[in-house]
Chains A and B, each alone.
Chain A
């Protein structure tokens, strides 16, 4: 945690509205494509698509953290990431269980998303109006974060359970305790990108590539869990694709670090100006 200050207004090359569309659409398409392909073809090997959707949502969440925390919330970065997943879990559980009660489990994701975003807006309004944060984009940021949290939870949970039915989620994700890794690894995927790049020379592309990298790592973790719940083929597909994506994004991230750093040296004393 740090008090080092944020990016002060957070200038961004990619418009947050565009990222929101990419993130939410990516998550919905990923989860629904996985659900439809799996049920139509009677397999579970497409579960990776839901995890990919979760990564898209996490990147959108990372951008929302960046925007909100750019107003100088240094030590609050980890807290807001945990808050995002907390709100997301409420939304996801509500959406999936309501849909199951109504007998339309496929609609659970949409219900969860809408409910989570409304919930996030209310939490943001309370943070601003009652607790007096006075951050202009607080409501918008927490709406995004809550939606991203819900999509991340559902996407990665689907990659473990292979089903959108709430009963399957309970037996395969909640009762086994795999929700714990989805919660903490998903939370880190949303909070780590901005936290790890905090500082006056933070750049949006570097932060978001870090988000993709951590999201891919979370996919590997979820893949390891799915060894116990899905077929071995499906689990291995998730692990291998997750690991390959992680490697790709880590190398990309390192390239951006070399681009942005004052200097990357093998070894050496302090910079001449500081000795």
Chain B
């Protein structure tokens, strides 16, 4: 372990925190992933809306695409044209953001057009101002993840044996998975159904009954971004940042070849500590807020 490596690991953690936050907000602006089910259902149960319907795929493949696109472009520019890394990564992220725009708009157009019988209109003003916000957040995610991949493959010693685009693909899948499981709940569980009692769960009869009206006028996806920036985005960032930082910290402090046992043991230690902490959080929340009104006891399966 040397000071430079530790500094790089810290920088990777910071980049990952930013990437996680922007990833979650990007998916929330477009209502991707889990909350998308309800946005899609809303029109079908008679609630057409002015919310973006960015059904690209699950978040992991979509973010893998942005990150990989940025990484291949940056890798090409660095290896073939000897361009400075930061500049090359910025260009790569811009290409990724353009790709993101194509996928986002085609999904919004397609999904809305396929709900003709439910009278779901396509609003071009939404396409204009929401797509650019989505693309901007995708740019940040792609930039940060490609920087992490570059640090791992070119600066951090020992260099990672995988090529940079493959590392970016893996981190893209990871950030998507974390955003999908951490941040989406904040949007899908609370923002879409904010007038339901906390902890009630989503009754089947409420499917599609999402909040469509805002404090003034109709709710749009930028309003959702404002809400998710408060908690969902930062928490996703924290989750992804910790994943990247702790995972690389243990292989930087302990040599992965000569001290493999210690590195694995430290990984197991982190997993156990996090599980204990999760258990504590859940039980303390149940104690503070439960039992929920309307709870009639466990129903036998």
Contacts and interface: CB of A to CB of B under 8 A. Distances in A.
Contacts of B114: 197-203, 260
8 contacts: A4-B37, A196-B107, A221-B72, A224-B72, A257-B113, A268-B123, A270-B49, A274-B119
B169 interface: yes
A25 interface: no
Interface residues of A, number: 65
Residue among B56, B114, B124, B168 with the most chain A CB within 10 A? B114
Interface string A206-222: 11001001100100010
A207 B58 CA distance: 19
Interface of B is mostly: helix
Contacts of B41: 2-4
Contacts of A203: 114
Interface stretch (A38-46, A102-110, A136-144, A179-187): A179-187
Contacts of A271: 48, 119, 121
Contacts of B115: 199-201, 262
Given A254-B109, A262-B116, 11 more contacts: A2-B41, A82-B61, A181-B72, A184-B169, A201-B114, A202-B114, A225-B76, A257-B113, A262-B118, A263-B121, A267-B124
Contacts of B168: 180
A264 interface: yes
Interface string B97-118: 0010011001101111111111
Residue among B47, B48, B164 with the most chain A CB within 10 A? B48
Contacts of B162: 177
A271 B43 CA distance: 11
B64 to A, nearest CB: 5
A81 B64 CA distance: 14
A79 B58 CA distance: 9
Contacts of A187: 61
Contact of A261 (B80, B116, B165, B218): B116
A263 B40 contact: no
A183 B164 CA distance: 15
A226 B130 CA distance: 33
Residue among B41, B80, B115, B117 with the most chain A CB within 10 A? B115
Contacts of B2: none
**CB-CB nearest 4 A-B residue pairs:** A199-B114, A177-B163, A177-B165, A78-B57
Given A2-B40, A177-B72, A210-B106, A260 B99 contact: no
Given A178-B165, A184-B64, A188-B103, A261 B113 contact: yes
Contact of A184 (B34, B61, B116): B61
A161 to B, nearest CB: 14
A201 B112 CA distance: 9
Contacts, number: 204
Contacts of A221: 69, 72, 99
B242 interface: no
Nearest to B102: A217
Interface size bracket, B side:
35 or more
A44 to B, nearest CB: 15
B69 A185 contact: yes
A85 B183 CA distance: 28
A4 B44 CA distance: 8
A202 B117 CA distance: 11
Residue among B49, B75, B79 with the most chain A CB within 10 A? B75
A79 B61 CA distance: 9
A2 B36 contact: yes
Contacts of A261: 109, 112-113, 116, 121-122
Given A177-B75, A181-B72, A270-B49, A196 B124 contact: no
Given A2-B55, A221-B99, A266 B111 contact: no
Contact of A198 (B75, B111, B165, B166): B111
B107 A195 contact: yes
A260 B113 contact: yes
Nearest to A268: B123
Given A262-B115, A265-B122, A206 B110 contact: yes
Interface in A156-180: 175-180
Nearest to A160: B72
A47 B103 CA distance: 26
Interface string B113-145: 111111111111100000000000000000000
B57 A77 contact: yes
B120 A262 contact: yes
Contacts of A191: 57, 61
B111 A225 contact: no
A217 B96 CA distance: 11
Contacts of B110: 196-198, 206-207, 210, 257
A184 B122 contact: no
Given A185-B65, A201-B113, A217-B99, A1 B120 contact: no
B68 interface: yes
B50 interface: yes
A250 B102 contact: yes
A269 interface: yes
A250 B106 contact: yes
